[in-house]
Amino acid sequence: MTIVAKKTIIAKVLALDNDQRNLLEAEYGNYQNYIQGDKGVRLFAATKQQADRFLTVVRKTGRPVDPGKEYPLIIRRDTYKAETALAPFRFRIPVSGRRGGVEVPIGVPCGIPEGVQLRQAKLIRDGDDWYIHILIQKEVNESASGAFMAIDMGTRNLATVVCTWNAGPRFYGTEIRGIQAHYYKLRRTLAKKGAHGTIKKIGQSETRAVEAVLHAVSRKIVDDAARHHATIFVGDLKGLLTRARRSKLARRILLGFAFYKFYGYLRYKSEWAGVPLIAVNEAYTSIRCHSCGQEGLRVAGWFQCRTCGHEYNADYNGAMNILKRGMGYISMSGAASGTAQNPIG
């Protein structure tokens, strides 16, 4: 099956002269004012149209525009120019104050793959730095060979992985728990000292440390699935929220945990690699024995079945249940991608 895979490349603007910086800041500031309701500001025409489309989407959600938030400036595909054959790459940003826009050098750490289509871009300011998020897409042929992999996400292990070509489980992202515990204690210490500015800075450091793990783990998992032409099953996120309500510690960890981000990384990386990924309803997968299907006792990281007497690592048991549920869905529907709503459990 052919699908359209998309992902976002983050490029940093490497250098700006004073004139360029003033033009960008004016366009970006006017865009923020336009979003906040000032329709009289000077703004590049196509960018104003993008702002109107964004506001239409916001109105449909029923949520008001946040007056304290800076929104990414959306750049329509046919209004910018990206020179990707040069090193460093160059990007021409349309602005209202200069015909032809502002052309700047950008750093693209992983490059822009050949044969992709460039879609819309977003200009984002982070302190004194500017970043351009470029959406790219390509057509990919999904290939599945009958091999399967399942992922159980949790607060103890970010991802517990089982697959049909390997007997044992693999546990990924265990270091995140330590990272978060370290920063949690550090924030408490700094709060007692009243160092609120430092608390904000270490929050950014924590985010970067966690995101590095999320990227590395999702890359390992998708690469392994791609080598075996496997379909990936992953538990949906509703079950995680339910589990987190049972524990104050789990709630704290989950609130700082980037499960949605990790799932997003899995989604776009699997699409890009042509690996089918299916979200499986994980209701009861944490409290049922994968061997006999009966309810058991889960205590911390261990599961014991009251019926057949088997004992397992709890995350391994959950991953095995997701694997069985996903395979059952495939056998019934022949689906290759999407969301599995198997009624088991």
Q: In what order do the strands lie in the sheet with 302-305?
A: 296-299, 302-305, 311-313
Beta strands in 15-97 (DSSP E): 73-75, 81-83, 89-95
pTM of the model: 0.76
Higher pLDDT: 146 or 277? It is 277
Architecture category of domain 142-340 in CATH:
2-Layer Sandwich (3.30)
Band (pLDDT 50/70/90 cuts) for residue 257 is low
How many CA atoms lie less than 13 Å away from 194 in the CB half-sphere?
0
Residue 172 has pLDDT above 70, yes or no: yes
Between vectors from CA 214 to CA 208 and to CA 216, what angle results, nearest 5°? 105
d(CA 272, CA 142): 9
pLDDT, residue 54, reads 95
Q: What is the predicted pLDDT for the residue at 248? A: 56
pLDDT in tens, 4-49: 888 899 999 999 999 999 999 999 999 999 999 999 999 999 999 9
Residue 131: beta bridge partners? Answer: 12, 124
* Tens of pLDDT, residues 307-344: 998 999 999 999 999 999 999 888 766 554 444 433 22
Lowest average pLDDT, out of 187-201, 273-287, 300-314, goes to 187-201
Q: Average of pLDDT values for 57-82?
A: 92
Q: Which of 314, 223, 237 is nearest to 270 (CA)?
A: 223
Share of the chain above pLDDT 90, in %: 52
Cα 311 to Cα 8, 155, 157, 162, 304, distances in angstroms: 43, 20, 18, 17, 4
26-40, 140-154, 168-182: which is most confident:
26-40
7: helix, coil or strand?
A: strand
For 18, how many CA atoms within 13 A lie in the half-sphere containing its CB? 0
Looking at residue 161, what is its pLDDT?
Answer: 97
pLDDT of residue 120: 94
Show me where the domains of the chain are located. Answer: 2-140, 142-340
**Which is it for strands 296-299 and 302-305: parallel, antiparallel or unpaired?**
antiparallel
Side-chain half-sphere of 272: how many Cα atoms within 13 Å?
20
Core vs surface per residue 313-332: b (16+ CB within 10 A) or e: bbbbbbbbbbbbbbbebbee
pLDDT at residue 336, as a whole number: 47
Nearest partner of 25 among 93, 120, 99, judged by Cα: 93
Return d(Cα 31, Cα 38) in angstroms, integer.
9
Which pLDDT value is given to residue 333? 61
194 exposure class (CB count in 10 Å sphere: 0-12, 13-18, 19+): exposed
Q: In a 10 Å sphere around its CB, with 0-12 CB exposed, 13-18 middle and 19+ buried, how is residue 69 labelled?
A: exposed
Q: What is the mean pLDDT of residues 171-194?
A: 87
Most confident of 51-55, 232-236, 300-304: 51-55
Q: What is the mean pLDDT of residues 141-155?
A: 85
In the predicted model, what is the mean pLDDT of the chain? 86
Q: What angle do CA 223, 224, 229 make, to 5 degrees?
A: 95
**Is residue 251 predicted with pLDDT exceeding 60?**
no
Asked if omega into 88 is within 30° of 0 (cis), the reply is: yes
Least confident of 44-53, 65-74, 231-240, 299-308: 231-240
* pLDDT above 50 for 149: yes
Cβ neighbours for 263, distance < 8 A, ≥ 6 positions apart: 153, 234, 237
Which of 148-152, 194-198, 255-259 bottoms out in mean pLDDT, i.e. has the lowest? Answer: 255-259
Nearest to 275 by CA among 237, 233, 316, 236: 233
Nearest Cα neighbor of 44 from 2, 92, 97, 120 is 97
**Rounded average pLDDT over 109-124:** 87
